[in-house]
Structure 1
Amino acid sequence: MALHPVSRVKLSTQIENQLKDQILTGKWKPGERLPSENELAEIFQVSRVSIRQALQALSAQGLIETRIGDGSFISQPSIGTFMQDVIPDVYLADDSLRAVLEFRRVFEGPVAELAATRATDEQISQLAVLYHQMWEHADDADKNSYYDLSFHMLIGEMTGNPMITGVYRILNNVLRSSWHRVTASKGPKMGFYYHERLLNAFRQRNAKLCREIMEEHVANSWFLFFGDGEQANSAPADAPKA
């Protein structure tokens, strides 16, 4: 592949990086108001367009909050904030998808176990709502896969750990298009089977059982995509029929 000359970094990116440094090093505190666009344009000796682009980038990262007519203010950042844009929402090649599903097999079982010890009654009720929404949209692969992934996202949130929530956000983003594919090709029965079992285990507050079911569930997802010599293409005989 031929090499090409590199282009200069955009002005707005340079401004974004300097402002981000001020925020992350604590020189600007949460709640503090940033200088106005005009003031920043004067400081950096650039147009307001470059300033506005930099501020929009910081806002998208959750580092600042812009209030119409009042200016931009430093947000209270969290671990989840920094993780949310690590991986873009893109279609995954099989090699990348293999890595993500392999990670799920290591990650999601212990998360389910922890979530069972910390979940509120309200969160478990919401988990039931998502399960029933999966049923309501059994014939719509887009919506069914959306509620399927939302079910897992909520389990991450149940832990109360912002880093775990950030990881689930990444997983949801990278799996969205692929999950539509598997739902469309394999149908939703397997999701109903495992999600019903998980919901019942969470209602019982049985942390060990939640982990066991989740580990079986994500292993099954792996085999649905890759096989690897084990069969998991059909739901168990006692799985609910969509």
Structure 2
Amino acid sequence: MTDSKKTETGNLIRPVSRATLPQEIVKALTDLIMKRVWKPGDIIPSEKELAIRFQVGRSTVREAVKSLVVIGVLDARPGEGSFVRATSSELLSGAFHWGLLLGERNLDDLVDVRVLVEVECTRRAAERRSPAMLDQLGESIADMEAHQTDHNAFMESDTRFHLAIAQAAQNPIFENIGGTIQSIGRIWYPKTYYIPETKGLTITEHRAIAEAIAAGDVQAAADAMRAHLVSAGKRLRRILSGE
């Protein structure tokens, strides 16, 4: 990284006001990319340097960078560092901007998309259920129950649950869109974990979905997924609206 780029980066990377929330780091890093301070192919500062500049723990930086890697904004290369990726598809670009711009005014749009995609995936999962897929759902719920005090582990298990259903639809486009939705969710939905009842309700809602899929009840499975997505959206709205 050149001296001039380091200076500009240093001017834009400052301590964040809510250091415990990785999405604040995500916003700061993506601002640098959107402003073209970091361009495709550039290596970003090390995890250690970012932690010092933001005045946060390295684990917070690591989670933020991981989210950007999952979305496809950054490319993590073992032993080399993290690099800014070129936007290679409109879907990725759209997911990136949604992740940045999601707010109360367009939350309903995101929930609509989730319902359209994930409810249909759930219908197909109930029709095409397999022992392996049901085991995946059961294991993810068990992991969520076991990690209710660990936000990161809980989110990983939550994500695995939804991805298993997307994969069970046996349509690579549904799976791709479902993965993109989960990538956005990894940035925003953990904010709802600060609502005390969120994790317990999420587990209960996931269990209802899994039981309906296991029973092969297509309509009940679809209804359970729809109810879960709407409820999750309402919980996120509470946070975004500052309640």
In the superposition, the TM-score normalised over structure 2's length comes to 0.56
Q: Give, in whole Å, the separation in 2 of the partners of 1:116 and 1:135.
A: 23
Q: Which moved more, 1:192-201 or 1:106-115?
A: 106-115
Q: Identify the residue that residue 231 of structure 2 maps to in structure 1.
A: 220
**Cα gap change, 1:57 to 1:107, in 2 (>3 Å):** closer
CA displacement 1:36-82 (0-9 Å, x = unmatched): xxxxxxxxxxxxxxxxxxxx969x96xxxxxxxxxxxxxxxxxxx98
Q: Any stretches of 5+ residues in structure 1 without a counterpart?
A: 1-6, 13-55, 62-80, 228-232, 234-242
Q: Identify the residue that residue 200 of structure 2 maps to in structure 1.
A: 189
Q: Give, in whole Å, the separation in 2 of the partners of 1:87 and 1:195.
A: 24
Q: How does 1:27-176 map to 2 (within 5 A)?
A: 83=91, 86-88=94-96, 90-91=99-100, 92-176=102-186
CA displacement 1:182-236 (0-9 Å, x = unmatched): 1233430111111111111122121111011111111111222336xxxxx9xxx
Give SS of 1:87's match: helix
Q: Identify the residue that residue 79 of structure 2 maps to in structure 1.
A: none
CA RMSD of aligned residues (A): 3.1
Q: Identify the residue that residue 24 of structure 2 maps to in structure 1.
A: none
Question: Is the Cα–Cα contact under 8 Å of residues 102 and 222 in structure 1 kept in the other structure?
Answer: no
In structure 2, give the amino acid aligned to 1:163: I
Q: Identify the residue that residue 219 of structure 2 maps to in structure 1.
A: 208
Cα drift, residue 168 of structure 1: 0.7
Q: Identify the residue that residue 237 of structure 1 maps to in structure 2.
A: none
CA displacement 1:91-130 (0-9 Å, x = unmatched): 5333444421222133322221111111321111111111
Q: Give, in whole Å, the separation in 2 of the partners of 1:211 and 1:173.
A: 22
**Cα gap change, 1:97 to 1:146, in 2 (>3 Å):** farther
What is the aligned length?
157
Q: Give, in whole Å, the separation in 1 of the partners of 2:105 and 2:224.
A: 26
Question: Is the Cα–Cα contact under 8 Å of residues 109 and 215 in structure 1 kept in the other structure?
Answer: yes
Q: Give, in whole Å, the separation in 2 of the partners of 1:224 and 1:57.
A: 33
Q: Give, in whole Å, the separation in 2 of the partners of 1:113 and 1:221.
A: 19
**Cα gap change, 1:179 to 1:160, in 2 (>3 Å):** same
Q: Which moved more, 1:193-202 or 1:154-163?
A: 193-202
Give SS of 1:188's match: helix
CA displacement 1:113-166 (0-9 Å, x = unmatched): 111111321111111111111111111122212211221111010011001001
Question: Is the Cα–Cα contact under 8 Å of residues 107 and 233 in structure 2 kept in the other structure?
Answer: no
- Percentage of pairs with the same residue: 15
In the superposition, the TM-score normalised over structure 1's length comes to 0.56
Q: Which runs of 4+ in 1 moved over 6 A?
A: none
In structure 2, give the amino acid aligned to 1:209: A
Q: Give, in whole Å, the separation in 2 of the partners of 1:121 and 1:57.
A: 38
Q: Give, in whole Å, the separation in 2 of the partners of 1:194 and 1:158.
A: 19
Q: Any stretches of 5+ residues in structure 2 without a counterpart?
A: 1-35, 42-83
**Cα gap change, 1:226 to 1:180, in 2 (>3 Å):** closer
Q: Give, in whole Å, the separation in 2 of the partners of 1:122 and 1:134.
A: 18
